[in-house]
Structure formats: structure tokens, C-alpha cells
Amino acid sequence: MGDRRRTAASVPDLVSRAREGDPRAVARLISLVEDASPLLREVMAQLAPHTGHAQIVGITGSPGVGKSTSTNALVAELRRAGKRVGVLAVDPSSPFSGGALLGDRIRMQDHALDRDVYIRSMASRGHLGGLAWSTPQALRVLDAAGCDVVLVETVGVGQSEVEIASLADTTLVLLAPGMGDGIQAAKAGILEIGDLYVINKADREGADQVRRDLRSMLALTERREGAWKPPILKTVAARGEGLDEVVAGIDQHFAHLQHSGELVRRRTRRARGEVEAIALTALRERWGDVGGRSELDDLAAAVATGETDPYAAADDLLDRL
């Protein structure tokens, strides 16, 4: 209990230090997020007035397209533009510890000593969608800590990875020659979410064909008048080629979001989903099995035996709350 009081007393200090760019304070705040600490409500209340400034850029694509290499090169390009950068690299969970495997941080050692770059690997812990459940709150920490841009790199899990589109202001979809043609990518659902399409490893044979396939698929997509038209860019991230065009594309898309009012709409939808997730988690805790059999168990048993129907049981459960 004493340790908890000491930690609680330090929350304002942690937030203050994080806003000054102290990496240890940022790390501690994100750890509180990942651990679902009882102090999380206080942390979020302290951070709220300082959020809403960072550009959130999602980086997604199938395994093998070079997401980590591209993220590393993109960080370097953003730093050349004088921007403070945060990176949340969502790794598959370790089957032993439940923690992130940290592969992405190993590949980003180029920026390890740069105080204006903060890199954090987060374990997905089995969460579908390519993101960790705590990613939205971790983004708030980096936003409040003064990052101009936060890159969120997902694990690359195929169809369920489209969740990134609801979290980011701008979503980059990475593809590469030899990783499947445009039609296969469209079947995976990944072509429905991109604001920019980046063909990495463009020095390989087949890059132009991937670009043609993408252009053909995007031409079939219905878009309202004045809507953003996603560009198709080519990079060789391992050599740092083409990243200046990617950064320019990100800036152009962000300007379009601001001018069209879509930025406010996207962020409002994001906040709505965040509030809903927190509320549902709180409800599930009330229905939980703490201390034995729950009310939900009793209602479920009644539905299973035909004593009541699921709609009536759901109404009963809500009435009890």
C-alpha cells in the first residue's frame, strides 16, 4: 500500500518530466498503461490537457515487406525535418513471458541515443487487429510528451490488421514485389484502409507490376467528390531511398484532413471507440467471477435451460446495473 501511495504521489511529477522529454518518465507512464494500473485514471486525467497535437501514422503490411526497416528509415527522415518522433512497435507476444519479443527495437538501434526519438515495443498479447489493447493510451502518453509524429507499426497479421485505420490519422500500407499481387492484397482487406501505398524493395523485379495492379484496384474504388486519392510511392528503405516522398505524402494527407474537417471526424471516432472500450471493460468487470458465481453466469444458465431468452436476460442484466 505504501508503494502505491508513493507512486500515486509521483504521477504529476512523472507527467511533468515526460512533457520535458525525460525518457524514463515516458517509459514509466507507458508501463502503467500496459499494466492497467489503478493509477491509470489519474495519469490520463493529468495527460488530457496536453494531447491532440501529434500526427499518428500507422504502418501496416504483410510480414516480410520491410515494415521495421521502413519505420527505421522514416524516423531518420522525420528527424532530418526536425521533428520529435515516437514509435510504438507492436510485437507478437512471447509465449513464455507475455511480453514483446523486441525484434523491432533491435532493428532501430540507429536512434537509441537520440533523445528526440522514443521507441517502445508493446506486446499484442493475443489481441486481434495487430495492435495491443493499450495502444490508444500509450499514444496519449507520447502525444503529451511532445512527439510531433508517432509511428505505430503493427505485427502484420493480415485481415485483422485493418484495426490500425481506426487509430491513425494517416495509414501507410506497405507492399513489396514477390509478396503477392494486388488482387491477393485486396482479398486480405488491406487495400481498403490505406491513405498512402508504399511499394518497398522497389529495386526488385516486379515492382512496376505491383504498382500497376494497385493503380487498377484503386481505380475501381468508389470515392466521393473531393475525397483524398491515395498516392502509390516506391521506396528502397534499406538504402533510405524514396523516404522524402513518403514524408511529403504524409504531410499532404494531414493537410487534406485538416482542410476537409476529416481530422476532427477521425479523432472523434477514435475517442468514441476508446470510451466505449473502457466502458465495456468496466461492465465486464462488474459481471466477473470475483468471489464466485456471477449474475451473468446465473442468467446464462437460465437461457441454456430455456427458462428465459437471451434478450430478456440481457435486459435483466442491464437493469441490475
The tens digit of pLDDT for each residue in 227-280 reads 899 999 999 999 999 999 999 999 999 999 999 999 999 999 989 988 888 888
Buried b / exposed e over 85-105, threshold 16 CB at 10 Å, is: bbbbbbbbbeeeeeebbeebb
Neighbours of 260 (CB within 10 A): 13
**Which strand ranges, in their side-by-side order, compose the sheet holding 85-91?**
117-123, 85-91, 149-153, 55-61, 170-175, 196-199, 232-234
- Among residues 231, 257, 255, the alpha carbon closest in space to that of 245 is found at 231
Domain map (residue ranges) of the chain: 1-50, 51-260, 272-320
In the CATH hierarchy, which fold is given to the domain comprising 51-260?
Rossmann fold (3.40.50)
pLDDT per residue as tens digits for the range 11-58: 999 999 999 889 999 999 999 988 888 898 999 999 999 999 999 999
Q: Hey, which residues does 57 pair with through a beta bridge?
A: 151, 170
Please name the residue that has the C-alpha cell 451473468.
Answer: 296
Buried b / exposed e over 208-240, threshold 16 CB at 10 Å, is: eebbebbeebbeeeeeeeeeeebbbbbbbbeee
Distances (CA, A) of 305 to 62, 300, 302: 45, 9, 5
| pTM, to two decimals | 0.84
